[in-house]
Amino acid sequence: MEESMKGLNAAQEEAVTSTEGFIRVIAGAGSGKTRALSQRFAYLVNEIGILPGNILCVTFTNKSANEMRQRIHHLTGDNDTGYICTFHSFCVSILQEDSNAVQYPKSFLVLDNSDIDAMLKIIYEERNLTLRNMTFSKARDMIEIRKISKEPEYYLDMITMSLDTLRQKYEEAVNPSDIIFYGYLYQEKKCFGLDYNDLIKFSLYIFQEEEEIRLKWQRRLEYIMIDEFQDIDDLQYRLMEVLCNHHKNLFIVGDPDQTIYTWRGANVKYLLDFDKVFPHVKTIMMMQNYRSTPQILSAANSLIEKNQSRIKKELLPTLPGGLPVLCHHADHSRAEAVFIAAKIQELHEKGTPYRDMTILYRAHYITRTIEEIFLKEKIPYTIYSGVQFFGRMEIKDALSYLRMIAYKDDLSFLRIANVPKRNIGQRRLAFLQEYAAEKNCTLYDALIKNIENDIFKGTKAASFVALIESFAADYAERPISEVLSAILNESGYERMLRTEGSQERLDNLAELKQSVYEYETSCGEESTLEHYLTHIALFTNSDAEDRSDKVKLMTVHTAKGLEFPYVFLCAMNEGIFPSKKTNTLQAMEEERRLAFVAMTRAEKRLYLTEAEGRNFDGSPRYPSRFLLDIDETLLAYTQKPQDHLIAKAQDYINFNSRYLLDHSQGQHFARGQRIKHSIFGPGTIVEVDMEKAAYTIQFEKIETPRTITFRAKLEVLQG
């Protein structure tokens, strides 16, 4: 036991050894919570004797889960590391075991954006829709909004309706939104595909309808731990409530000051009110920071204390003193970019690798000028959250080959049947689609049944079938990494890329092979091809580590959970950071938390930069209120804004603050609610736009609806 506690501070040790009941850990940025979670898992296994398979540890990224899995494997020496995964990944595990309860096979597909776009393409072609009706991006957003808020019972259609009934509902739809939505549900059911929203909905449905299955999972999970609890949304919370309701051992870790995902459904009240909802809650404060210098922490503490809705706390430094936080005011955005480039070159010349330097910003459009200067100065850089690694063409192609081997599904078939070229073009694919629809079979089955048809003479269709069949026969006995290498070779896919001279794509495939190998190593006996494929769709850009020596550029949201030796937080201007869309007190506090998260990513030194100029709407740019929130004595200026500019900035901020709405105090009306306006009279709320802070209202005396700000005095009409 002494060995397992080595190096832990008093708060971490208390968190590790507090095993029973409901425990809440408020863990500040850089306080070593990953270490504490890993050590607690090891303590449960090594000291108490709990089986790893009876512990659930939920993280919010696959990267965190992999890191924790490796740590725990090292601490316990056990290949079984229980359920260490994201909420979505855990739901995949539930459904793989109990999908029969919703009449789905164990080989269901987990859909990512690329798969959804492939389905949308089919729907648009079938119903003669164009991108003028709706772009794919807007269609995906629309589907998600309808699933989450407008039609939360949608999953019942997928579970209880027959495929023919669902198709009929799709065919009877008239307006583009309905056509796309019901067409998508039909396409999902047709290929037994589930997207992220479905995974939790289906799991909750099974637990609600099947008491025996619910009890099985409740009894199995003797200890539940959840990281980043401030990011939990309503559905995840409901799932957690169900799972912990038997043993009542729930351990949560979070930081209210790092709540930056409310726009995605995160609800910090679950963390703040945890002790009011659950009995006899023990709260542990972990405030010692092991990441950043005292200078960085002092500036971050000074900023976040301006928020009102928070648990009062302060990050405590453990590292020795470093350099002051450097603040730079530039005359224009180009001069700001030149300053950043010069500092990066200076650091690099003194021996700092480019990969140790990161530029953070509020929105992607900020990078244009920086990129121009970097290209001119030949500074290598990479932008995160561009094309995600697992969304790149060659990666999707490789994974589609693996999916064909395991599932032989239509989406994979359409993607790679003619890649490399096998003379299976649009005319032949249309023939297969017509046959498959008529016979109610997959496209691959349609090809097998028609392989001797004259239409496939002069094609390589037979060799494609032979390829898939040969791999399908024995893939279960081979490591995934071996299957992947072999199929890319024998299909001619890698040869095609070499012929094209696509070295970057070949490098990406090499990275994929390495990631598969690492996956096999970390998952042990669980690493079946099916297990890998159902989880891979949940991976994001941040899960693929970039080891190249380049400066990293990313949004603050992307940087959450990461740390970097040198951080440049740029474009710290009103209307940029905080965003010009910020129109409530609550949203402004979230923007300040976002700035706090950005600052606490820095380990050795933090640079804050802003520039004068004009915004897109022609208004003057002022220094951000977040710069002015920080105690002036905690910042070192290379060039300070002139007093008159600071005065104008303060006037603007004071004026803007008067118009920030307080949602906690203000009136809230829901869609469909009857109200009365002092001028326009009675009406009905048609839409609620949180971004614009406005209602769309259809008044009885006015023919067309009006958009009315939340600030307007509205009276509730009864009945």
Catalytic residues: 33-34, 227-228, 258, 601
Burial (CB < 10 A; 0-12, 13-18, 19+), residue 175, is exposed
Q: Do residues 531 and 538 lie in contact, with contact meaning Cβ atoms separated by under 8 Å? A: no
Q: Do residues 116 and 184 lie in contact, with contact meaning Cβ atoms separated by under 8 Å? A: yes
- Distances 563 to 97, 321, 699 between C-alpha atoms, Å: 37, 18, 52
Length of the chain: 719
Q: What is the C-alpha radius of gyration for the chain, rounded to an integer number of angstroms?
A: 28
DSSP codes of every residue in 37-80 = HHHHHHHIIIII---GGGEEEE-SSHHHHHHHHHHHHHHH--S-
Q: Which is nearest to 189 in space by CA: 65, 67, 105, 101?
A: 105
In whole angstroms, what is the distance from residue 86 CA to residue 84 CA? 7
For the chain, helix, strand, coil in percent to 5 are 50, 15, 30
The three-state secondary structure class of 419 is coil
Q: Which is nearest to 299 in space by CA: 588, 15, 558, 631?
A: 631
Type of residue at 115:
D
Element (H, E) at 145: helix 136-145
In whole angstroms, what is the distance from residue 605 CA to residue 325 CA? 7
Q: Do residues 402 and 482 lie in contact, with contact meaning Cβ atoms separated by under 8 Å? A: no
Type of residue at 640:
K
In whole angstroms, what is the distance from residue 597 CA to residue 591 CA? 10
Q: Which is nearest to 334 in space by CA: 293, 372, 282?
A: 372
Strands 681-689 and 674-677: antiparallel
Q: Do residues 546 and 382 lie in contact, with contact meaning Cβ atoms separated by under 8 Å? A: yes
Tokens matching residue 393: 């063409």
Tokens matching residue 709: 């700000």
The H helix count followed by the E strand count for the chain is 30, 22
The three-state secondary structure class of 523 is helix
In whole angstroms, what is the distance from residue 282 CA to residue 279 CA? 9
DSSP codes of every residue in 585-628 = HHHHHHHHHHHHHHHTTEEEEEEEEEE-SB-TTSPBP-B-HHHH
Burial (CB < 10 A; 0-12, 13-18, 19+), residue 2, is exposed
Q: Do residues 170 and 177 lie in contact, with contact meaning Cβ atoms separated by under 8 Å? A: no
Burial pattern 104-130, b for ≥16 Cβ within 10 A else e, equals beebbbbbbebbbebbbebbbeeeebe
Residue in the structure block whose two tokens are 């919010």? 60
* Number of Cβ atoms within 10 Å of the Cβ of 451: 14
In whole angstroms, what is the distance from residue 172 CA to residue 159 CA? 20
Tokens matching residue 110: 């987990």
* Number of Cβ atoms within 10 Å of the Cβ of 676: 15
In whole angstroms, what is the distance from residue 437 CA to residue 340 CA? 58
Task: Describe the strand order of the beta sheet including 706-709 as a list of residue ranges.
Answer: 706-709, 694-699, 681-689, 674-677, 714-716
